[in-house]
């Protein structure tokens, strides 16, 4: 059974970097990282959302995957792996969160309620 899975990563840029650097890193994220994610095996879509205010805090990456294995496939994708060091180097990792959400379907309900 394949269960569509959402991956959500909320992040902010480090307070120690300037607004100019944060903007450049956001452009890098949108121009380099997002296309690599979208082209990764098992990825259906990927979007970035922001909260109110400046585009340096409370940003959220939302990736829809065929199933939860899409996350591992993204991390193993050479096009993405080479970008992670730069990406994580500018994020405030103390405030970064991630969550996986699976789509509730009749098949999932049956699988989870089965007594076999």
In the chain, what are the domains?
Answer: 5-113 (3.30.70.100)
Q: What is the mean pLDDT of residues 10-28?
A: 96
Whether residue 114 is predicted with pLDDT greater than 90 in this model: the reply is no
Residue 71 has what pLDDT?
93
Which helix (H) or strand (E) covers residue 116, if one does? none
Q: What is the mean pLDDT of residues 24-42?
A: 97
User: In a 3-state reduction of DSSP, which class is residue 86?
Assistant: helix
Residue 106 has what pLDDT?
87
pLDDT grade for 108, boundaries at 50, 70 and 90: confident
The answer to whether the predicted template modeling score (pTM) of the entire model surpasses 0.85 is: yes
Mean of per-residue pLDDT scores for the chain: 93
Residue 112 has what pLDDT?
86
User: In a 3-state reduction of DSSP, which class is residue 19?
Assistant: helix
Give the Cα separation of 80 and 71 in Å (integer). 11
Residue 115 has what pLDDT?
65
pLDDT top residue among 7 and 103: 7
User: In a 3-state reduction of DSSP, which class is residue 71?
Assistant: helix
């Amino acid at each position: 059974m394949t269960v569509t899975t959402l991956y959500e990563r909320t992040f902010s840029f480090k307070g120690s970097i300037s607004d100019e650097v944060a903007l450049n890193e956001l452009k890098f994220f949108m121009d380099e990282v997002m296309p690599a994610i979208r082209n990764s095996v098992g990825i259906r879509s990927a979007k970035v959302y922001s909260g109110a205010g400046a585009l340096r805090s409370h940003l959220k990456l939302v990736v829809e995957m065929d199933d939860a294995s899409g996350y591992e496939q993204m991390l193993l994708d050479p096009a993405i792996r080479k970008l992670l060091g730069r990406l994580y180097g500018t994020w405030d990792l103390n405030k970064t969160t991630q969550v996986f959400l699976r789509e509730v379907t009749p098949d999932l309900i049956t699988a989870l309620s089965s007594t076999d």
